[in-house]
Amino acid sequence: MKKKNLSVKKKIHNFYYKKLDDPKIKRIYLNFKKKISSHITNSFCVAVSGGVDSMALSFLAKCYSIENNIKVKFFIVDHKLRKNSNFEASLVKKKLRSFQISSNILTIKKKNKSTNIQSFARDNRYKLIVKQCLIKNIDIILTAHHSDDLIENFFIRLLRGSGLKGLISFSKIKSKVKHDDKIFILRPLIDISKKNLIYIAKNTFNFYVNDPSNLDNKFLRVKVRKLISNLEEDGLTFNKLKLSLNNLSKSNHAVDYYVKTNIKDNSNYLKLTKTIILKENFFKQPDEIVFRSFSEVIQKVGKKVTFARGLKVENLIKYLRSNNNYSKKTLSGCIIQKFENSVIIYPEKR
């Protein structure tokens, strides 16, 4: 390597090490390092939105890559949902480059969406990043989800009528992107507050993009954020919610055992045709076991990032439990049909 390049490299490394002299930043970094060290053995990638959370994550990830000499990819997703999204993505890329962070912009094809905009953006963001992970042989995606997100998602799912698994799923530090993928999402900041991430972003890169949708009342998340703000005045804290989530998680482990048993004993997966056949006993278990088992097999066949909505799953289960219904139904990319005492599930497109 040329002397000039070595000098630049040393200078930028010193920048990161010097920032870690700040006691608050160092404390958060050590927590971050502890969270990811047991999960990362090779290269990994970082999902960057340009917001304050992901800029803080980018700083921490870069520190970790320097300290451990591990390659890390940074992916900026241009959702094409705002007029200036392309400019913002380029600006984030330029700013990261000034701190010796090389990144790639992934662009979602523009579509006219009037409903579920944030869900559309999230699903397509993961699709693009997963595609790059498969190309570059990466199995870990770091996201900047933090403790404020955890609280918000709990209440959003509560308002939508989520079951036990839905309420606690976001609290996991590591989860699969898709049911049968070997690519995982890692949330190393899940117990760090947004306030602390703002501190890191301002005192390191001193740059982040503001998303105007964070103030738009038409989004449920914004309404929930205001609700939480009022509840905090009445004593709601992250630690109290975390304690409840831990208790719910213990109950979830017990249910999971019986869900796995039901799928193992009462279903057959035909790998060649990507079809699942459910035996009669599959639907004779307790309601929660049937609901979760059925959701699992639907996601496996449909290959969706998220599970099908609870109400749709419940209605379909009621339909299949009826003795006289044999017509085809569709749900979450699957075709479902009853034959005598069995149910066959296969992909809509084969």
The answer to whether 175 touches 159, Cβ cutoff 8 Å, is no
* CA neighbor of 147 nearest in space, from 187, 108, 192: 192
Torsions phi, psi for 220 (to 5 deg): -60, -40
Confidence of residue 92 (pLDDT cuts 50, 70, 90): very high
For the segment 49-54, the average pLDDT, to the nearest whole number, is 93
Confidence of residue 89 (pLDDT cuts 50, 70, 90): very high
Boundary (domain end) residue, out of 236, 256, 288: 236
Q: Are residues 232 and 252 in the same domain?
A: no
Task: Say which residues have a Cβ less than 8 Å from residue 113's Cβ, sequence separation at least 6.
Answer: 81, 120
Q: Are residues 250 and 301 in the same domain?
A: yes
pLDDT value at residue 317: 93
Boundary (domain end) residue, out of 208, 236, 264: 236
* pLDDT at position 286 over 60: yes
Boundary (domain end) residue, out of 236, 266, 284: 236
The pLDDT tens digits for 22-35 are 999 999 999 999 99
pLDDT value at residue 233: 78
* Cα atoms found within 13 Å of the Cα of residue 23, Cβ hemisphere only: 0
Confidence of residue 265 (pLDDT cuts 50, 70, 90): very high
Task: Say which residues have a Cβ less than 8 Å from residue 121's Cβ, sequence separation at least 6.
Answer: 79, 81, 108
Q: Are residues 203 and 310 in the same domain?
A: no
The answer to whether 277 touches 268, Cβ cutoff 8 Å, is yes
Q: Are strands 275-278 and 267-270 parallel, antiparallel or unpaired?
A: antiparallel
pLDDT value at residue 245: 85
Q: Are residues 174 and 321 in the same domain?
A: no
For the segment 196-205, the average pLDDT, to the nearest whole number, is 96
* pLDDT at position 177 over 90: no
Instruction: Choose from 206-210, 214-218, 238-242, 279-283 the range with maximum mean pLDDT.
Output: 279-283
The answer to whether 330 touches 317, Cβ cutoff 8 Å, is no
* pLDDT at position 282 over 60: yes
Tally: H helices and E strands in the chain: 12, 11
Q: Are residues 31 and 159 in the same domain?
A: yes
* pLDDT at position 11 over 70: yes
For the segment 124-132, the average pLDDT, to the nearest whole number, is 88
CATH of the domain at 130: 3.40.50.620
- Give Cα 268 distance to the centre of its chain: 29
- Count the helix, strand and coil residues of the chain and give each as a percent rounded to the nearest 5: 55, 15, 30
What angle in degrees, to the nearest 10, is found between the helix axes of 3-19 and 52-68?
120
Q: Are residues 207 and 263 in the same domain?
A: no
- 173, burial (CB in 10 Å: exposed 0-12, middle 13-18, buried 19+): middle
Residue 11: which region, alpha, beta or left (left: phi > 0; alpha: psi -120 to 50)? alpha
Q: Are residues 116 and 142 in the same domain?
A: yes
Range of the domain at 225: 3-236
The answer to whether 323 touches 280, Cβ cutoff 8 Å, is no
- Rounded CA separation 26/20 (Å): 5
* pLDDT at position 350 over 70: no
- Tally the residues of the chain: 350
> Residue type for 11, please?
K
